[in-house]
């Protein structure tokens, strides 16, 4: 990777990765009315038990029973997470699921048929099952620091192959999130030890789009922009793998979707990258940050 430390040093403020939780944290408040909460169908959660598409009815538990993952506020409201408390939480969770669906674990033990493969960040604030409101068995997952996908990561590529070739997932979701400590660290030049090797992948993406990133003076906004670029880059890396090429060549119905999660709102946003075939990939061979930043500037001007 070509270095350009002088340029970065003058234009990019140093970012302290150890302070990311504090600097990007938000005050959390309990839901205004948990008693009247209804499960909302997500874009990807629209199937009944037979695997066919179900009608999108927010109140229809028959076609889309509410995920047993979340039953309201987490019981672990204290800061202490000792083994005793963790085991107590697990027993309460298991009991609540069995009371709602007695045969849930029996069915789960017989195999998995997830329709979604999620590639996300290891950040503890981005739990894919929770934010998608999907139950255990419905999301196949690979997570790493800053949801990076590179052609040399045999771990990620092996999970991708299993998800596509064996589980036959229909959606490969690559999801970044705002307030990502890994991306923020890649904006600066500080050394953090072993993790520097991993952050080098993001730094390379940063260098490729440095002129546009340097147009953004606000550090947090610059981080948000790099989060989006990094996620788009990972989407394209997935799309270019032999696994995806082979799947599309044999006519398999599987798409790659780029998303970003906003930890300040709890909402997912789509990045405009839906790649369903090799033809789709041809129009997205490289992340065009010129177009992205032109759109960003236009949106800011009209806001």
Domains of the chain: which residue ranges? 39-111, 112-303
Annotated binding site for Zn(2+): 121, 123, 177, 180
* Active-site annotation holds for 223: no
Confidence grade of residue 79 (pLDDT, cut at 50, 70, 90): low
* Active-site annotation holds for 180: yes
From residue 266, give the alpha-carbon distance in Å to each of 41, 65, 72, 260: 15, 21, 15, 10
* Averaged pLDDT for residues 76-89: 77
* Active-site annotation holds for 175: no
pLDDT value of position 139: 97
Residue from 41, 64, 123, 209 carrying the catalytic annotation: 123
Confidence grade of residue 238 (pLDDT, cut at 50, 70, 90): very high
Annotated binding site: 121, 123, 177, 180
Q: Is 152 helix (H, G, I), strand (E, B) or coil?
A: coil
pLDDT at 134 over 80: yes
pTM exceeds 0.85, yes or no? no
CB neighbour burial string for 169-207, b if at least 16 within 10 angstroms, e if fewer: bbbbbbbbbbbbbbbbbbbbeeeeeeeeebbebbbebbb
More confident residue, 68 or 295: 295
pLDDT in tens, 26-64: 222 333 333 333 333 334 433 334 444 444 444 444 333
Confidence grade of residue 66 (pLDDT, cut at 50, 70, 90): very low
Residue from 39, 66, 125, 143 carrying the catalytic annotation: 125
Beta strand pairing status for 267-275 and 139-144? unpaired
pLDDT value of position 87: 92
Counting Cβ atoms within 10 Å, is residue 134 exposed (0-12), middle (13-18) or buried (19+)?
Answer: buried
pLDDT at 287 over 80: no
* Averaged pLDDT for residues 121-132: 95
53 near 46, Cβ under 8 Å?
yes
CA dihedral 129, 64, 172, 143 (to 10 degrees): 10
Q: DSSP states of 79-114 as a string?
A: S---HHHHHHHHHHHHHHHHHH-TTHHHHHTT----
pLDDT in tens, 142-170: 999 999 999 999 999 999 999 999 999 99
Confidence grade of residue 74 (pLDDT, cut at 50, 70, 90): low
172 near 238, Cβ under 8 Å?
yes
pLDDT at 273 over 60: yes
From residue 289, give the alpha-carbon distance in Å to each of 11, 17, 207, 297: 18, 25, 12, 12
Residues comprising the chain, all counted: 303
Phi, psi of 115 (to 5 degrees): -100, -10
Q: Report how far residue 280's alpha carbon sits from residue 283's, in angstroms, rounded to the nearest whole number.
A: 6
What count of other Cβ atoms lies within 10 Å of the Cβ of residue 256? 25
Residue from 177, 209, 224, 284 carrying the catalytic annotation: 177
* Averaged pLDDT for residues 9-36: 36
* Averaged pLDDT for residues 261-285: 89
Residue from 64, 156, 175, 180 carrying the catalytic annotation: 180
pLDDT at 214 over 50: yes
pLDDT value of position 24: 30
| Rounded percentage of the chain residues whose pLDDT exceeds 90 | 60
Highest CATH level, class, for 112-303? alpha beta
């Amino acid at each position: 990777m070509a270095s350009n430390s002088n340029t970065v040093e003058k234009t990019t403020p140093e970012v302290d990765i150890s302070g990311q939780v504090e600097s990007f944290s938000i005050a959390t408040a309990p839901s205004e009315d948990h008693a009247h909460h209804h499960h909302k169908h997500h874009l990807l959660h629209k199937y009944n038990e037979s695997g066919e598409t179900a009608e999108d009815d927010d109140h229809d538990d028959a076609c889309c029973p509410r995920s047993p993952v979340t039953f309201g506020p987490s019981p672990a409201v204290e800061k202490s997470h000792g083994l005793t408390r963790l085991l107590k939480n697990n027993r309460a969770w298991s009991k609540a699921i069995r009371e709602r669906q007695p045969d849930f674990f029996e069915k789960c033990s017989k195999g998995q048929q997830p329709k979604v493969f999620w590639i996300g960040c290891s950040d503890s604030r981005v739990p894919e099952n929770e934010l998608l409101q999907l139950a255990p068995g419905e999301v196949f997952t690979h997570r790493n620091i800053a949801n990076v996908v590179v052609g040399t990561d045999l771990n990620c590529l092996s999970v991708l192959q299993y998800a596509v070739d064996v589980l036959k997932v229909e959606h490969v979701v690559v999801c970044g999130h705002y307030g990502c400590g890994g991306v923020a660290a890649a904006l600066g030049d500080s050394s953090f030890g072993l993790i520097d090797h991993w952050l080098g992948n993001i730094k390379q993406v940063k260098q490729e789009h440095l002129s546009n990133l340097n147009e953004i003076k606000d550090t947090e906004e610059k981080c948000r922009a790099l989060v989006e670029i990094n996620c788009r880059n990972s989407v394209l890396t997935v799309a270019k793998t032999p696994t995806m090429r082979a799947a599309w060549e044999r006519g398999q119905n599987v798409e790659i979707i780029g998303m970003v999660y906003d930890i300040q709102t709890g909402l997912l946003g789509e990045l405009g990258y839906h790649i369903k075939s090799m033809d789709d990939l041809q129009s997205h061979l490289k992340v065009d940050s010129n177009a992205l930043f032109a759109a960003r500037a236009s949106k800011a001007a009209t806001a």
